[in-house]
Amino acid sequence: MTTAIPGAFHPSTRLYRFTILIFISLLVVGSYFAYDSIGALATTLIKELHIDRATIGKLYAAYSVAAIAIVFFGGMLYDKLGPRKASLLFSCLVFLGAVVVAAAKTKWMLFTGRLIFGAGSESLIVVQSAIIARWFKGKEMAMAFGIALAISRLGTLFAFNTEELIADHFHSFRTALWAAALLCLFSVLCNLVFVVMDRHGEKVLSLPTAGAGDKIVFSDIKKFTSSYWFVVLLCVTFYSAIFPFTDLAADMFHDKWGLPSVNAVAGGFLTKVFYNFTHMFTTAPGVTSIVIAASMIFAPFAGGLVDRVGRRASLMVLGSLLLIPAHLLLGITHWNPIPMMVVLGAAFVLVPAAMWPSVPLVVEESRVGTAFGLMTAIQNLGLGLFPLLNGWLRDKTGTYTSTQIMFAGLGLLGLIFAFLLLRADKRHGGVLEAGSSLRG
């Protein structure tokens, strides 16, 4: 009796896994676009809505408040619905939140939309991580996360390079916000394809049901080692020096360096989009997107490198170190900002590629969900606080020097935590520094 050979698109094949990875990644493209549409349109929103930069920071803070709440209280919902139903619920919340923001007539409607959006978006990322962990194991794990991150951040790249262009071309910032809502609807449609593929794969391969992902079990917290806590502290300081910075970076490049919000070029809308992308280094939002573009291009390769050679703690030290001079030079000089943004992009490649796959290595398998959940909640504390400080300092001082010194200080704190992590890892057997060949 011969054994049937699986077809080329059988759920057990690499082709099927990586096809489902594409749709898993597209689940959050819309949310990434909508998240940064506020920062991409910051200069226009400040003028058109007569708001200050602190309000822009508060809109990002509203997202983080909702994200923290859903991480702490959403675990039971994940378990009850399962990843497929939960992903549909959360992607619909993302779409609803983006619609409320686009239709908002008052400041409070804007905040309400961002709260709804934050509750759905962060939860959708949690579900995405849980599904990737189920479909990709062993040597493919970090690479799969890197590919997902690269595809997902297409949303951010397009936000910074098209939102002001849409607002300018159609003479309405609301049209740009509605474009964000439509892209969130596209992600809902991609979610439906993922649901079909995941259900089929689960049935054929008898896959275990995905758990709650980042669900926090409070009794687990006291069992974590110092290595885990240094990873968490590095996470909150590092991300607080990146995302709150990009929230108002386009406004900084427009205000301090005089870079235009869009390139003035004749032609149709698609011609303008193409020109904006090919000349992104000449616009304020385009320069802001350098950090994201670098991470998109190099994150998959960095993930594969980490899988092979390890050196996670060392890479986190290097990435944290890069933040300090880059932010300081942006704050205290008028030098061309592009080289500093490239350096920030390099840091944004190295640290996440090494940091997130480190968590399962420093906590017991049964506590990984709690570890990721707590780390995400603490991360969002920083992502809620520092956009407020960024906008408030800019409004109070009239310059971005103080904010850049603040971000450089966060880089210094991250560097200290990375060195402490390296020392703690040596005490615990060097698991973070070991490559795949050494871990077995």
- Domain map (residue ranges) of the chain: 14-439
For 351-365, what is the mean pLDDT? 84
At residue 184, φ and ψ (nearest 5 deg) are -65, -35
pLDDT at 439 over 50: no
Q: How far is CA 110 from the centre of its chain?
A: 21
| Cβ contacts of 252-258, under 8 Å, gap ≥ 24 | 252/284, 252/330, 252/394, 252/400, 253/284, 253/287, 253/288, 253/337, 254/43, 254/284, 255/400, 256/334, 256/399, 256/400, 257/284, 257/334, 257/337
pLDDT at 239 over 90: yes
d(CA 46, CA 40): 11
Kindly give the residue spans of alpha helices, DSSP state H, lying in 5-74: 14-26, 29-40, 42-48, 53-73
d(CA 371, CA 126): 12
- Report the range of poorest mean pLDDT among 136-145, 304-313, 344-353: 136-145
Instruction: Assign domain 14-439 one CATH number from 1.20.1250.20, 3.40.50.720, 3.30.1360.70, 1.25.40.20.
Output: 1.20.1250.20
Which tens digits make up the pLDDT trace of 255-278? 999 999 888 777 788 888 888 788
For 308-317, what is the mean pLDDT? 85
Which tens digits make up the pLDDT trace of 122-162? 878 877 877 787 777 655 776 787 788 778 888 988 898 88
Contacts of 108 (CB under 8 A, 6+ apart): none
d(CA 421, CA 184): 38
pTM metric for this prediction:
0.81
pLDDT at 208 over 80: no
- Report the range of poorest mean pLDDT among 105-109, 131-135, 205-209, 410-414: 205-209
Angle of the 226-240 helix axis to the 368-397 helix axis, nearest 10: 30
User: Quick one: pLDDT at residue 150?
Assistant: 79
User: Quick one: pLDDT at residue 1?
Assistant: 43
pLDDT at 440 over 60: no
